[in-house]
Amino acid sequence: MSGVANAVGKVAGVVAAGALVVGAFATGNPGLVALAAKVGSIASIASPVAATSLPVPRKPLMTAINIFEDGHNAYILSDTAVLDASGKVACFASKAFAFPEVRMAIAVSGRPIMAPLISAMDRHIRVPTPAAFLAGIPEAFADVMREVAKANPAAEATGGNATRLWIASYDMVAGRPRLHTLGNSHIGGAAPLLPGAMSEIRDGHSSPPFDPAVLPFGYIANPKKDGRRVIESQRRWRFPEYAAGYGVGGHAELYTIGRAGVTFDRVATWPQDRVGKRIDA
């Protein structure tokens, strides 16, 4: 079992609030953890076929992805709705996964490539250290996206395979949280994110937009309470990709990455969302 498999493949038990313990820390991906408990290695269940195993929109939907830090911890906040080409809920799935031993969590937007990405990381990363992970992720990502391009040539030609990783970690050497992103598409703005380059994010990132008035202090002071306000606001965003329909739903998951490891909290639930139906915010 390689360093990546060891980082995510040992299950110790279940704790309160729906969090699952992996090794000595917590992660919030019940499906992958349950499989890891059976096979002993997450990498052993991954396959490039999984790159197309979930329904994917004609145009990748940048669902609720928020990545930020407060000087003490890094955070990833996302929803779990996966939509089909018509804008209906195809399934619910975590869009982030944790590597507690290296104090890191990764979220994916665009193509649902988590399983093949873990498999590719297992091939490219032999030592479970933060530096090795950050150095190996670009090669692993490139491998997976080449397979996605082969499997989906029409989408590749029109930009329909656009995918981006959002990486939150805690640097034990520097004693601070760090945020990075890597993708195969361009995101504009004051600090543009270029395709193919691992970029460190200084001020975090939120998509889709949210109403800043939901934050009492103008910033996320309380990750759980304010995070819920942010994602509830994002839930009301209408996506042009789906004829101005809604796209944020299922559950809101918050990963906290810090000196002590990685913890997971479910900060919002929308029980009215149903597979096969459109989201009604």
* Confidence class for position 83, pLDDT limits 50, 70, 90: confident
Pairing assessment for the beta strands 164-171 and 176-183 based on DSSP bridges: antiparallel
Highest mean pLDDT among 83-87, 149-153, 225-229: 225-229
20 sits in which H/E element: strand 20-22
Residue 171 lies in a domain: yes
The pLDDT assigned to 45 comes to 26
Overall pTM surpassing 0.85 (yes/no): no
Residue 281 lies in a domain: no
* Confidence class for position 4, pLDDT limits 50, 70, 90: low
Residue 154 lies in a domain: yes
Residue 177 lies in a domain: yes
Residue 144 lies in a domain: yes
The pLDDT assigned to 12 comes to 24
Which is nearest to 109 in space by CA: 82, 137, 139?
82
Residue 193 lies in a domain: yes
Q: How far is CA 272 from CA 207, 225, 238, 249, 275, in A?
A: 23, 21, 18, 9, 10
- Say how many domains are in the chain: 1
Structural domain containing residue 233: 3-269
CA distance 1 to 160: 34
